[in-house]
């Protein structure tokens, strides 16, 4: 969509009126009057739709299947935050937060007990949640919205809503309501913006995730439409993150900054801080400046119709690395297991794929575990050597070891125009293995990949996954207690009941 068409769509797409918001915390003081009054006429189509959804969201308006799926996302999200808190990048972020010298009532998860003000806690927990690249992935609904290149929806929404909820002593149901609100806003914005946004180098988890943080915080702070609109405008100026940082500690920082910036936007707006009244719209709004346009019909009238957490749903990762590699890794695993292939039998490995896979997975050889997450030779090589690629394989020690370094030299990638022509709504590839005895083995990836809504993890598998992720941080009794509390989150009178369980030994 060109700019002229985009602006015309925005100008004609707005309809309806706003539902007023109510504060979660009854003791909260009245909101101050904003210094620049926003009228309904001033609010443009996409901004209006987002603010309307935020201020009108109620837990009772979410369908039961959305609440059930949210609990699955929370089990996975809390697990990857705990696991990610153990890596060096997350420790550096926590040390940075300590230098702030501020006190606060929001927990930071990790090997040691720590708390901070809500924005700083969201920064630390959000960065931990994306540190291992083990967090869930938004699904595409059409071939031009590239699967795997939209957003990691749970962590920014979770880190922001939890920090504000705990600091404000909100109930578990209020936290769940805010999480679902942020999740939906994030996914619909990521869907609406022109795919050029990602192709130009923006990281959608960082950019769309900032709106998740703002939406979740607005819901918990009980902002009305005027203050929520200012929060969206502030968030639009804070939403940033570049793909050049994939394979470094800064990629996980994107999720933390998204959660932090979203909270800051909402808290500033709560205090009367103003912003442009159409942060998403117009030639200077977020969609046009950062994306070159958008399709407003993917947002206006689409929020909650259906809820993205239900349809198309989310994908939970079977491996702690870039999601675009997972079907190919499963195809490699099938070949290795079905034919009982030993590493010394392998002469060469090829991955045939389109640009949607080959461009993001850009490292030809990995030197660190962070690079390994985006390196096809490592990802297939690890399966060839160990028949698995879990947290234990993504270490600097294994990545630098002689066996995997040697195996990576046998792996190459091939751009396949036929696969490219099929579109990017699914992850399609073909793995080929040449053996020393002259045999050639071929395995296409399965479009019904593990962890997707078409082949979901069972609740037992999700619980086991949480236990594995939490084991380095929590004793066994607390792991079971945390699972019980997450699965009945709406019954908690104060979300701090859960954070005390998760907050370290």
**C-alpha distances in angstroms, 155 versus 66, 223, 277, 368, 501?**
17, 22, 27, 24, 19
Residue 465: which pLDDT band, with cuts at 50, 70 and 90? very high
User: Are both 287 and 328 inside the same structural domain?
Assistant: no
| pLDDT tens figures, 97-145 | 999 876 889 999 999 889 999 999 999 999 999 999 999 999 887 877 7
Both 142 and 232 in one domain: the answer is yes
pLDDT, average across residues 2-20: 37
Q: Are residues 296 and 336 in the same domain?
A: no
327 plus 311 within the same structural domain: no
Same domain, residue pair 137 and 249: yes
| CA 103 to the chain's CA centroid | 27
Q: Give the domain-ending residue among 261, 286, 315.
A: 315
CA distance 226 to 138: 30
| pLDDT digit string, tens, across residues 421-442 | 988 777 899 999 999 999 999 9
How many angstroms separate the CA atoms of 218 and 177, rounded? 11
With contact defined as beta carbons under 8 Å apart, do 255 and 151 qualify?
A: no
Residue 394 domain boundaries: 323-444
- For residue 41, the model assigns a pLDDT of 43
Per cent of the chain over pLDDT 70 is 90
Over residues 40-46, mean pLDDT: 61
Asked if the model's pLDDT at residue 16 lies above 60, the reply is: no
DSSP-based helix, strand, coil % in the chain, nearest 5: 50, 10, 40
Phi, psi of 284 (to 5 degrees): -110, 10
Last residue of a domain, one of 444, 460, 489: 444
Q: Are residues 339 and 293 in the same domain?
A: no
pLDDT band for 250, please (50, 70, 90 cuts): very high
Query: Helix H segments across 292-401?
Result: 326-338, 355-358, 369-372, 376-386, 396-399
- pLDDT at residue 11 greater than cutoff 60: no
Instruction: Say if residue 349 is in the same domain as residue 432.
Output: yes
pLDDT of residue 434: 98
Q: Of all residues in the chain, what percent carry a pLDDT higher than 90? A: 79
Please say which residue of 274, 293, 315 terminates a domain. 315
345-399 tens-digit pLDDT: 999 999 999 998 999 898 999 999 999 999 999 999 999 999 999 998 999 999 9
- Three-state DSSP at 119 gives helix
**428: domain CATH number?**
3.30.1330.120
The predicted-structure confidence for 174-186, as pLDDT tens digits, reads as follows 999 999 999 999 9
pLDDT for position 18: 29
Please give the pLDDT value at position 213: 98
* Domain CATH number, residue 163: 1.10.4100.10
- Block residue for tokens 């073909």: 430
Q: What is the domain count for the chain?
A: 2
pTM exceeding the 0.75 threshold for the entire prediction:
yes
């Amino acid at each position: 969509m060109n700019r002229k068409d985009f602006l015309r769509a925005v100008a004609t797409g707005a309809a309806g009126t706003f539902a007023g918001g109510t504060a979660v915390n009854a003791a909260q003081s009245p909101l101050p009057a904003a210094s620049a009054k926003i009228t309904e006429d001033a609010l443009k189509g996409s901004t209006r739709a987002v603010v309307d959804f935020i201020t009108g969201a109620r837990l009772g308006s979410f369908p039961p299947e959305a609440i059930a799926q949210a609990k699955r996302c929370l089990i996975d999200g809390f697990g990857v935050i705990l696991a990610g808190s153990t890596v060096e990048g997350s420790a550096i972020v926590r040390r940075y937060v300590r230098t702030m010298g501020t006190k606060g009532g929001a927990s930071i998860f990790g090997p040691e007990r720590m708390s901070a003000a809500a924005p700083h806690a969201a920064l630390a927990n959000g960065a931990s949640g994306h540190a291992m690249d083990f967090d869930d992935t938004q699904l595409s609904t059409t071939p031009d919205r590239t699967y795997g290149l939209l957003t990691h929806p749970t962590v920014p929404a979770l880190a922001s809503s939890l920090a504000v909820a705990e600091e404000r002593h909100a109930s578990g149901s209020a936290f769940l309501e805010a999480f679902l609100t942020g999740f939906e806003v994030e996914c619909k914005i990521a869907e609406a913006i022109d795919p050029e946004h990602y192709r130009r180098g923006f990281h959608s988890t960082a950019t769309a995730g900032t709106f998740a943080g703002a939406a979740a915080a607005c819901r918990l702070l009980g902002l009305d439409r005027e203050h929520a609109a200012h929060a969206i405008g502030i968030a639009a100026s804070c939403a940033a993150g570049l793909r050049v940082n994939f394979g470094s500690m800064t990629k996980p920082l994107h999720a933390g900054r998204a959660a932090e910036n979203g909270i800051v936007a909402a808290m500033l707006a709560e205090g009367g801080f103003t912003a442009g009244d159409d942060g998403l719209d117009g030639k200077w709004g977020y969609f046009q400046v950062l994306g070159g346009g958008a399709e407003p019909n993917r947002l206006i009238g689409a929020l909650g119709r259906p809820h993205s957490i239900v349809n198309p749903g989310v994908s939970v990762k079977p491996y702690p690395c870039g999601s675009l590699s997972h079907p190919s890794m499963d195809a490699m695993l099938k070949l290795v297991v079905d034919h009982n292939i030993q590493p010394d039998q392998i002469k060469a490995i090829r991955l045939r794929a389109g640009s949607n896979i080959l461009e993001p997975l850009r490292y030809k050889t990995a030197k660190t575990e962070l690079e390994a997450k985006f390196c096809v030779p490592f990802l297939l090589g690890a399966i060839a050597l160990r028949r698995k690629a879990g947290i234990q394989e993504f270490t600097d020690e294994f990545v630098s070891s002689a066996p995997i370094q040697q195996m990576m030299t046998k792996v190459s990638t091939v751009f396949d125009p036929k696969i490219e022509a099929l579109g990017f709504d699914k992850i399609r590839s073909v793995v080929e293995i040449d053996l020393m005895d002259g045999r050639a083995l071929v395995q296409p990836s399965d479009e019904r990949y593990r962890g997707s809504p078409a082949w979901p993890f069972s609740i037992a598998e999700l619980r086991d996954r949480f236990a594995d992720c939490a084991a380095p941080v929590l004793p066994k009794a607390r792991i079971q207690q945390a699972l019980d509390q997450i699965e009945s989150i709406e019954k908690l009178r104060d979300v701090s009941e859960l954070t005390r369980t998760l907050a370290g030994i």
